[in-house]
Every structure is written in C-alpha cells, then in structure tokens.
Amino acid sequence: MRNIIGSLLLAGLVVLAAVPAVAQDTNPLEVLQSDASPEQKSQACIKLSVNGPVEAVPVLAALLVDEKLSHMARYALEPMPYPEAGQALRDALGKTSGRLKVGVINSLAIRKDQQAIPLLIPLLVDADADVAQATAVALGPFATDEIQKALMIVLSQPNLAPGRFNAMCDGLFQCAEARAARNQKVEAIALYKTLLELPNTQTQLRTAALRGAVLNFGVEKGMPLLTQYLQGENTDDFFSALRVARELSEQPGATAALAALLPQLPPERRVLFIDLFGENDGDAAGAALIAQAGEDPVELRVAALKALTRMHYSPALDLISNLAWTAEGPLAEASRDALAYFPGADGDAALQALLTHADPKARRVAVELVGQGGLDNPAAVLLNTAVTDADESVRVAALEGLHGYASPEEMQSLLDKVIHSTSPAEARAAERALTALGERQKQMPGGIVVQKAVYGNLPDGPSADVTEQVSRIVAEGAPTMQASNANFGDPAPGAVKKLSVEYTDNGTPISKTVAENETLKFKEGIAPAALVDAYFAAFDQAQGDTKLALMRLLGSTGSPKAFEVVRANATTGEGAMKDTALRTLCEWPTSEALPTLLELSKTSVDPALKTLALGGAVRLLGATPPGEALPQYVAFMAQASTPEEKKLVLSGIAQVHNLEALNLAFAQMHDPAVKPEAAQAAIAIARGLNQPSVEEKSFFNGADLTGWESGTNYWRVEEGAIVGQTTEPITQNEFLWSAIPVSDFYLSVDVLLEPNEANSGIQFRSKKADERGQATGYQADMGKDVWGHLYHEHGRGKLDWVGDAETMVKPGEWNHYEILAVGPAIWTALNGKIGVAFLDPEGANELSGLIAFQVHAGPPQKAQFKIRHLVHNPRIEMETLGPRDLISALRDPQQ
C-alpha cells in the first residue's frame, strides 16, 4: 500500500525550490512512513503543508496522537483544502488530551471547521484550563446562538479563574465581531452591552466592550454611552473611551458630535481629547477649537493650537500669527511652531506677512521661524533681511538664523558684515554664522594611517576585516565615521557590533573602539583652505575690534597656520590682542593646543583666563586615552583653587572608569562646595567601573575553622555558621581572625546575636594589636543601640554613630549584614537599609587589613555568622542598593 501511494504521488508533487531542505527527490510521505530522522520527518511535513495531496491525510492523521509529531502532522493538515483533513482533526479530538488537544482545537479553529462545533462546545468546561480556553477562542467566530449561550453560561459561573474568564470574554468578543460582520448589529450590541456590564473586569475587557457597543451603535446612539465613559470618574474608563472616540471619529458626523462634547469635559481631559481631531476635521471642529485656544489652562490652549495646525484650519492663522509674537511661554512656543510649519501656501503667506510687519518684534519672530524652516530657500530670505531690514535687532536675528544655513555662497556677505558693520551685535552674529559654516566644512588633516580595522561582534563573535573600507573613508577626508552596517555590511546580524581601529596619527599608535551606531572620531577636522585664506587676508587688513573678530574666526578653523599666528599674539601681543589670542587658544578645537592650555592653566595669573584654560584642557583631554588624561586631572585637582575649577576637573574625571578616578572623586566629596558634582562623578565612574570583581573562595569552607585563628577557644562551626560563644563573663574583647587580607571588598553575612543586649562586631581592614589577637581598626558594630554603626576598635572610637538601620533589625533573629569598602568609602547595611555611608577623611593608612569576628567583654553571649559572600574589588552595590543609592548617601561626619 505504502509504495503504491508513494509512486502515485511522486509525479504529482511539485518540488519546492526553497522551503525545507529535504532532498528534492524524496517523497515526503515515504519519509514519514520510514525510519527517517526526526529532522527529515519534520521537513517532510513542512513540504506536505504546501502541496500534500489528500492521500497524505491518513498518514498524517495517524501522527496526531504522536507526542513528538502531532504538531507537524497538524502543520501539514491544517492548511489542506480537503474535507478529509478536517475529519482527521475532529477524530483526533477524542484521542488526544492536554497540549495535543489544545493544538487540535486551534487547528480546527484556523480551518473554521463548522462540523467541529458540537464536539467543541462541551470542552468549554473541560477540567484542563488550556483546553477550555483554546475552545472558547476557537468557537467565538462561529457565533451561533448555541455557542454564545454556552460561553455566557461558563462566564456566569462564580469564582471562574481569571484565565478562563478572559478566554470566555475573548470568545464572546469574537462572537460579537462575527455578528456585526453579518450585519446582526442588534445582537452584537446586546452582547457588547452585557460584557460591558460585567463587574470588576480588567481595563482591556471594558475597552473592548465599550468599543464594540459604541462603534456598532454609530454616532447618534453611541455618543450618549461614550459620553458617560468620557465623563466617568474612573480614569481608566476615560482612557478606554478616548480610544473608542478615536475610532468613532472616522464615522460620518462624529467629529461635530465630539467637538460639541468638548466644553462639557474637565480641562485636563479636554487636553487629551483635543488630540483626536486630525487632518480632515477642520470644517466640523475648527470653530470649537478656536474657542478652546482661548481658554485656560495653557496646556489646553497649546493642544488646541496644535490641533488647528494639524487640521490645516486657515481661519486660525490670524490668531496663531498674533500669538506667535505677543504670547509668552508654552503658548508662544506652540504658536511659533504652528506658524512655521502650518501646512500649505496660506501658512507660508502668513509667515511672509509677519516678515514685513510694522513692529520689529514681530519681524524678529518671523525671522526666527524662517530659520527653523518656515519658508522655502531660507538662506536667501535671511540674507536679504540681514542686509535690508531697518531694525538692527531684526538684522541680528536674521544673521543668527543663517547659523544653520550659511554655505560658501553666503561666505563673502557674512565676512563683509564682520568687517564693515557698525553694529557690534551684527558683526558678532555674522562671526558666529561664519564659525558654524566653517564647522560644517571641516575636513580631517593628514597624518592618519590605518593599520587594522575590524567590525563585528567583538571580541569573540563573527567579524569582518574592514581595514580597506576604513582607509578609504579616511582618505576621503572624513574626520569621523559611523560604526554602522551602512559602512561595513553586517557580519553578525542581530548582534550589537563594535568597530575597532588601530591607526597611527603622525606616527603615534592609537587604538579606538566604538559600539555600533556610535561615531568614531579620529581627530578634529580643519576648515577648508579657502576659508582660512579669506580670513587671513581680512585679518592682515583689519584694525581694532574687527581684527579681534578675525582672530577668533581664525581660531575656529583649527588650521595649524592659524594656530601659530594666534599663539604668537598670545605670547608677544599686547592688550586686547593678547587677551583675545589667549581666549581663542582656550577654545582651540584641536589637540595641538593642549600643551599650551596645560601650561596656561597652571601659570596664568588671571583667574578667569586660568579657568578658561582649564576648561579647554579638560575638553581636549576628553579625547585622549584615560591613562594619559588621569595624571593631568590629578595635577589639576591639586592646584584647583575654586569650586568652578574643581567642577571642571570632576567632569573630566567622571569619564575615566577606574579606581584611581573613583578615589579622586571620593576625595572631593569632602568639599561641600563641590560635593554634589563629586558624587555625580563617582556614580558615573562606579557605573562604568572596568575592574573585574573576584569572589573569594577560601574565606570559609562551611565545615571548620581552616584559615581562621583565635587565641581563645570560644569559636567553633555549627551547621554552616561560625559561632563565637562565651559561657562566663569575660574581661576583654576577643576575636576570630581570617587569614584573608582585604582592601576593597564586599562582605555579605547573616548574623545572630544572643542576647541582643550583648555586643559583637565585624572587624575589617584591621590589624592584630598584639600576639593574643586584640584588634585595631574598623568595626561594623552589632548589638542593641549600636547595630550598623561604625566603630574604630582600639583607636579612633565612634566613627559614625548616626544611622538608624537598627530599625530594620529583628532582635534575637538572623539578620543580614552587608559591608562594602571601596577606597575611603565604607558602607554597612542591615536587612537592606544603609547603616553608615562613611567617607573616612583619615583612613589613608587603613585601606587594607584583615577581617575578624568579635565576642565582647561582659556577660556570656553567643554570636553567629553565616557567610554568604566575600568579594574582592567589588562593584559599588549591595544586594538591594545600587551605586546611586550608596554614593548619594555618603557623608563626612566632620562636615
């Protein structure tokens, strides 16, 4: 039999070129009935799904009860156009259970198998929730009275599990949708209303019910129901109704009805409601919105202006145009955006009109909006205004607008303004426009030689050698390049790739890596020679303030030739020339200026200039490798004399993600004038900290005291805990010492102290004071009234005695104690609450030492310690506290 079917079919089966990789001459039915591999059988079913003949049905039907192949049998059967396939699936309903049955039900649903209905209805109450739920969803679209009734009966059962409840609702929604599609609107609406009235349903179910009822009612009958929800007290209901209103607004006549409702809503809802009026609603809602544009609060007016613009409602242009130059705050912003981008020619005409308004303030606003793209050909419009307008402030605004547009075409006109304008403000604005023009035209200077470039899922994933492409982009003069598939293809689809480039800059080897879609910057660009030459020519002729302006322009080019001239003026010039030259150096765009700025920032006697130089140096250091920048920051910090300078240095330090930088930031937290900035820097560093943490494996073995030492016999191990117990009063504190030295570490330990009135503690970074094992150093304290405090045993005494973590302690029970020490910063926490966050101003010589547990002098006590973790070089975090929590809590008790 098998072979007969096989040979019959061979001729009829179209060979699929692409679908699965079954050898093309194999007959999938033969494969299924052979001892072929699971893979071959799976592929055979995929093939049969596309063109399997009716003769395949019995073979597949037999597999429906096969745990492993049932799905693949359905995969082939489900799309088959033959009634026999439906029969096979219906037959399988009685032979399957659990997951397999769920699958069969779903396939019958996809096939829209009418004959399955009577078989499925009883399954609505199946004991298997997955079966019942799949059945509800499957039956819904058939939407017979019987199905609807059956679903309702299940739904009305008390204490129906939420999963079943939602599935029954989904089935009923599908019923209602099917009835609406059959034009049985009355029945659909009745069903939706029933569902809407169910108590305590989830928001999405209420939204679904309201949506169905309102949309099927249509505008006239639906609006009252919708209004009730729009005005309802429940915010969720309002948002459901808002969504429905959006869909209703597509029906004829809805926009006017919704606009009429607008005044009846509270203002904060109106703000959201207005959003639903769009492009085509001008005629019906425009007038209503103009009214809203005059009503408080301002959010409402803004929303109305945006809507009027969206709908291109030209009668609003007078209002918008007027507000654009008379209003303030958000209303001004909204009306200006509206005027700039009001669609169509009438919007442009309104802006044109404002350009020639009698009031200069109106013209100033108009010019700004042209700069934002309000009119065609903005560069020409702006240059024309800059030359012809009678008012200086308008001309200045036009020049400022050119900032974003000036091209080489406008260069000479702008340079003329710099040289000839009698208005300092105009000259300055023209200068800024030229500076921006120069930035846009910059090209990378020579000297970069690419050695090797790799793009891919670095370091271990697939990657491609892109040396050639990178070299080409460099040769084209681009100072930056984006690490993107556009440039380098996609060697590792789906992964976030990196671009890593090794190159030399005038012989100095440099290596840089950036993530996908970031920009790799080789070095600062230099403005084109034509621009530099034009500036030089003008510079040589100029006098007074104009010469100063041209020096600044030369500075903005980054040209080495200009650098020499500016530096010469900074050294040998006098008065304003010298001063401007110095300031120009402080803003120099390329690292060429770094040595000069480092020098200036140390030696300048003018405090303002010193700060400027420092700012420039920090800016340029940001582009140098962290290893080189950090020593400079250290030196800067040592000589920084004002908070402003310290903040500048901190902003540089924040970009270096190592421990040394972190300690520098911590050190500045002692200075109240820069504490917030130092903390911010510390948080930034802590988040990017690039040192690997190491879990200590040989701290405690859980069984005995290997690696621990004590001069007494008070210590033992019991049930995985270290126990320190005294049975008689003792006269001095005693300790159990670990041999593991710690410096920066995180210790997480569960502790139990009995009685709570006794005292114990955890020494860390401590030293043995004598041979007997007395301790000197930090102690995280334990015991009534001292829990979580920081003590300094045999030394500085109470270091931080303020915290209230003890409120979290459960006396006489196990409590979770965490200790974190990184550089001068020490934290304790009890059951997740910070005890101390202490910046030790005097701890420079106590950055490392040993851990020891204490039993205290006094009456008998028992202290137990269950070690969770000891981590070296930890990140700044505890179990429930992150870097921001911990660092922002740090304080110096001396302050």
Residues 231-250 that bind other proteins (CB under 8 A): 239-240, 242-244, 246
Q: What are the backbone dihedrals phi and psi of residue 775, each rounded to the nearest 5 degrees, phi first?
A: -120, 145
Q: CA–CA distance from 455 to each of 305, 450, 515 (Å)?
A: 48, 14, 10
Minimum CB separation of residue 143 from other proteins in Å reads 14
**Which residues, numbered 256-275, are part of the site for other proteins (CB under 8 A)?**
271-272, 275
User: What are 219's two structure tokens?
Assistant: 């505008």
Helix (H) or strand (E) holding 766: strand 759-768
Distance from C-alpha of 395 to C-alpha of 425, rounded to nearest angstrom: 9
* DSSP bridge pairs for 765: none
Decide if 479 contacts 441 (C-beta within 8 A).
no
The dihedral through the CA atoms of 841, 842, 848, 850 has a sign that is negative
Which single residue is written with the structure tokens 């406008």? 410
Stretches 130-138, 628-636, 698-706, 786-794: which one binds other proteins (CB under 8 A)? 130-138
Distance from C-alpha of 263 to C-alpha of 849, rounded to nearest angstrom: 73
Tell me if 80 contacts other proteins by CB under 8 A. yes
Name the E strands within 607-754.
694-695, 708-709, 715-718, 721-726, 734-742, 745-754
**Which residues, numbered 463-522, are part of the site for other proteins (CB under 8 A)?**
482, 484-487, 489-490, 493-496, 517
| CB closer to other proteins, 305 vs 870 | 305
| CB closer to other proteins, 219 vs 876 | 876
Tell me if 299 contacts other proteins by CB under 8 A. yes
Q: What are the backbone dihedrals phi and psi of residue 563, each rounded to the nearest 5 degrees, phi first?
A: -60, -45
Q: Which of 29, 32, 61, 78 binds other proteins (CB under 8 A)?
A: 78
**Which residues, numbered 697-716, are part of the site for other proteins (CB under 8 A)?**
none
Stretches 283-291, 309-317, 322-330, 746-754: which one binds other proteins (CB under 8 A)? 309-317
Q: What are the backbone dihedrals phi and psi of residue 421, each rounded to the nearest 5 degrees, phi first?
A: -65, 140
Tell me if 68 contacts other proteins by CB under 8 A. yes
Three-class secondary structure assignment of 197-234: CCCCCCHHHHHHHHHHHHHHHHHHHHHHHHHHHHCCCC
Tell me if 102 contacts other proteins by CB under 8 A. yes
Minimum CB separation of residue 625 from other proteins in Å reads 17
Tell me if 27 contacts other proteins by CB under 8 A. no
Minimum CB separation of residue 649 from other proteins in Å reads 9
| CB closer to other proteins, 483 vs 786 | 483
The three-state secondary structure class of 378 is: helix
Distance from C-alpha of 234 to C-alpha of 238, rounded to nearest angstrom: 7
The upper half-sphere exposure of residue 492, i.e. CA atoms within 13 Å in the direction of its Cβ, equals 19
Distance from C-alpha of 498 to C-alpha of 122, rounded to nearest angstrom: 58
Stretches 695-703, 737-745, 781-789, 877-885: which one binds other proteins (CB under 8 A)? 877-885
Q: Which of 279, 328, 718, 728 binds other proteins (CB under 8 A)?
A: 279
Chain-centroid distance, C-alpha 32:
49
Q: Which of 61, 397, 418, 683 binds other proteins (CB under 8 A)?
A: 683
Minimum CB separation of residue 299 from other proteins in Å reads 7
| CB closer to other proteins, 206 vs 567 | 206
| CB closer to other proteins, 43 vs 831 | 43
* DSSP bridge pairs for 449: 504
Stretches 43-51, 223-231, 259-267, 820-828: which one binds other proteins (CB under 8 A)? 43-51
In DSSP notation, 584-600 reads HHHT-SSGGGHHHHHHH
Decide if 258 contacts 226 (C-beta within 8 A).
no
Q: Which of 676, 702, 741, 755 binds other proteins (CB under 8 A)?
A: 676
Minimum CB separation of residue 388 from other proteins in Å reads 20
User: What are 536's two structure tokens?
Assistant: 């030089």
Tell me if 880 contacts other proteins by CB under 8 A. yes
User: What value, to the nearest 5°, has the Cα angle with vertex 347 and ends 341 and 351?
Assistant: 90
**Which residues, numbered 411-440, are part of the site for other proteins (CB under 8 A)?**
435-436, 439-440
Stretches 63-71, 255-263, 762-770, 846-854: which one binds other proteins (CB under 8 A)? 63-71
Tell me if 849 contacts other proteins by CB under 8 A. no
Tell me if 839 contacts other proteins by CB under 8 A. no
Minimum CB separation of residue 176 from other proteins in Å reads 9
Minimum CB separation of residue 243 from other proteins in Å reads 4
Residue 504 identity: T
Stretches 220-228, 577-585, 681-689, 747-755: which one binds other proteins (CB under 8 A)? 681-689
Tell me if 750 contacts other proteins by CB under 8 A. no
In DSSP notation, 767-820 reads EESSTT--EEEEEEEEETTTTT-EEEETTTEEEE----GGGG--TTS-EEEEEE
Decide if 340 contacts 305 (C-beta within 8 A).
no
Tell me if 677 contacts other proteins by CB under 8 A. yes
Distance from C-alpha of 473 to C-alpha of 471, rounded to nearest angstrom: 6
**Which residues, numbered 141-200, are part of the site for other proteins (CB under 8 A)?**
162-163, 166, 170, 173-174, 177
Stretches 220-228, 840-848, 850-858, 874-882: which one binds other proteins (CB under 8 A)? 874-882
Decide if 459 contacts 425 (C-beta within 8 A).
no
| CB closer to other proteins, 246 vs 862 | 246
| CB closer to other proteins, 243 vs 357 | 243
In DSSP notation, 848-881 reads -EEEEEEE-SBS-EEEEEEEEEEEES--S--SS-
3-state helix, strand, coil in the chain (%, to 5): 55, 15, 30
**Which residues, numbered 615-654, are part of the site for other proteins (CB under 8 A)?**
615, 618-619, 622, 647-648, 650-652, 654
Q: Which of 230, 276, 383, 736 binds other proteins (CB under 8 A)?
A: 276
Distance from C-alpha of 700 to C-alpha of 715, rounded to nearest angstrom: 14
H helices of 28-184, in order, are: 28-32, 38-51, 56-63, 70-77, 83-93, 98-110, 117-120, 129-139, 145-155, 162-181
Total residues contacting other proteins (rule CB under 8 A)?
Answer: 134
Q: Which of 5, 139, 180, 205 binds other proteins (CB under 8 A)?
A: 205
Binding mask 576-615 for other proteins (x = CB under 8 A): -----------x-x-------------------------x
Distance from C-alpha of 864 to C-alpha of 715, rounded to nearest angstrom: 10
Distance from C-alpha of 124 to C-alpha of 120, rounded to nearest angstrom: 7
Tell me if 679 contacts other proteins by CB under 8 A. yes
Neighbours of 184 (CB within 10 A): 16
Minimum CB separation of residue 505 from other proteins in Å reads 19
Minimum CB separation of residue 884 from other proteins in Å reads 3
Total residue length of the chain? 895
Helix (H) or strand (E) holding 537: helix 529-541
Q: Which of 255, 309, 559, 663 binds other proteins (CB under 8 A)?
A: 309
Chain-centroid distance, C-alpha 520:
21
Minimum CB separation of residue 760 from other proteins in Å reads 28
Minimum CB separation of residue 38 from other proteins in Å reads 8
Stretches 359-367, 694-702, 835-843, 875-883: which one binds other proteins (CB under 8 A)? 875-883
**Which residues, numbered 321-360, are part of the site for other proteins (CB under 8 A)?**
334, 337-338, 340-343
| CB closer to other proteins, 84 vs 439 | 439
Tell me if 559 contacts other proteins by CB under 8 A. no
Tell me if 691 contacts other proteins by CB under 8 A. no
Binding mask 365-384 for other proteins (x = CB under 8 A): -------xxxxxxxx-----
